[in-house]
Amino acid sequence: MFTNESRELTVGELVVENPSRARVFEKFGIDYCCGGKIPLAQACGKRGADIEIVLEALQQCETGASPESQKDWSKEPMTSLVDHILLTHHAYLREEFPRLTQLTERVAQVHGERRSELLQVRDVFMALRNELEMHMQKEEQILFPMIKQLDSDPAGETVGHCGSIANPISMMEHEHDNAGDALGQLRDLTGGFVPPEDACNTYRVMLDSLANLEADLHQHIHKENNILFPMAIARETNAVHQNS
């Protein structure tokens, strides 16, 4: 049951408690990943959403979520969450990026003369793709191995050998913010991914694919910013205190 206190919980906290709530926030255009650290009331005001309607939608979603969407990753080992992110979200992006590159390029070529915003959609998407491909490489080669090592080393004997894990996490969060900004630009440029009446099928497929990309990236970034990264920092902090 949602109360007045629920308004002061951050959007990220609400999704950590129940991941199925992400669909509600996506419906209202509320950022629960990069912008997940602000209270629900503030987030609703920022998007011009009626908080009473949002709270009602959140209440309705409590009984209709699937077991998988309800999975509480904050109770799982960090290694399990890392593997899930790799197999689910990183794999999705690597499969979807080439497809979306072709779609955005084709739509820009065919419709860009009449709709100049589609040229911007193509350019913003390509910049997002380039940054995220480098971002994933850094996570896979540097940060995620550090987290897995931390997870397998309860005594904290390896802590500090490569510097604090907070340093690469801070960099990844900054890059997440950049990705969030790019997603916001794509949403604004496409009018919320809604096709115009005269849009061809390729145009409509591109918009649908961009909407799915946004939804997946929101889940992806949420699991890292609001669950995995705080767990890793807390684990390192505890290990440092035990060894001091």
pLDDT at position 165 is: 94
Q: CATH 1.10.3910.10 in the chain: give the residue spans.
A: 4-61
pLDDT digits (tens, 9 = 90+) for 144-167: 999 999 998 766 555 555 578 999
pLDDT digits (tens, 9 = 90+) for 168-199: 999 999 999 999 999 999 999 999 999 888 88
Measured at the CA of 180, the angle between CA 70 and CA 202, to 5 degrees, comes to 90
Backbone φ, ψ for residue 205 (5° rounding): -65, -40
Determine the Cα–Cα distance for residues 201 and 211; give it in Å rounded to an integer.
15
- b or e along 199-225 (b: 16 or more beta carbons within 10 Å of the residue's beta carbon)? beeebebbbebbbebbeebbbbbbbbb
- Is residue 22 within 8 Å of residue 222, measured between CB atoms? yes
Domain 4-61 class in CATH: mainly alpha
82 by DSSP, 3-state: which? helix
